[in-house]
Amino acid sequence: MSAISVTGESVWIQKEITVSSKKRGCHLITDEIIKQFPEMQNICVGLLHIHMKHTSASLALNENWDPDVRVDTEMMLNRIVPEGAGYKHTCEGPDDMPAHVKAALIGSSVTIPITKGKLNLGTWQGIWLCEHRNHAGGRHLVLTVQGANKK
């Protein structure tokens, strides 16, 4: 394991982005985030915190290679939290309350290390947007970096 010596200026950067509308399921959005946040390239060492501003979708770190993992995850989420399970909150449609439960189980944020201007993810890791609604629009994410600028 290598160490990084930090000599740059300490910085905070925050930006809100919109991720394009997705169908229900788990979607790899790592590249979409990187493209919308070029400021990250100037960070020597730091943390990127990503927060989802919605209660019916979630964020996760998981498999970035085999898309079947995302399909299987959606299948299992639907088994764990089925529609039509006698929910009291039904005013926004049959997929809404299960979406809230799934979002609570998976979570609304992830934090990833930044090393030399890049996300320091494992070989097979990517950022997922887990869309739990049948017909959702674009999703708003708040990206916050705390770190040190490259010299």
User: Please, where are the H alpha helices in the chain?
Assistant: 30-36, 67-80, 96-106
pLDDT of residue 146: 97
Condensed to tens digits (0 to 9), the pLDDT of residues 36-45 reads 999 999 999 9
DSSP state at residue 74: H
The label of the residue with tokens 């934090």 reads 111
Q: Which whole-number Å values give the CA distances from 33 to 12, 105, 133, in the listed order? A: 17, 23, 21
Question: CB count, 10 Å around CB of 94?
Answer: 13
pLDDT of residue 1: 54
Checking DSSP bridges between strand 125-131 and strand 57-63, what pairing results, if any? antiparallel
Condensed to tens digits (0 to 9), the pLDDT of residues 20-32 reads 999 999 999 999 9
User: What token pair was written down for 49?
Assistant: 């915190």
pLDDT of residue 9: 86
Condensed to tens digits (0 to 9), the pLDDT of residues 53-94 reads 999 999 999 999 999 999 999 999 999 999 999 999 999 999
Q: What is the C-alpha to C-alpha distance for residues 108 and 2, in angstroms, rounded to an integer?
A: 31
Tell me the domain boundaries of the chain. 17-82+90-149
pTM for this predicted structure: 0.94
Condensed to tens digits (0 to 9), the pLDDT of residues 92-139 reads 999 999 999 999 999 999 999 999 999 999 999 999 999 999 999 999
Domain 17-82+90-149 has CATH 1.10.10.10: no
pLDDT of residue 69: 98
pLDDT of residue 6: 64
- Sign of CA pseudo-dihedral 67, 62, 134, 87: positive
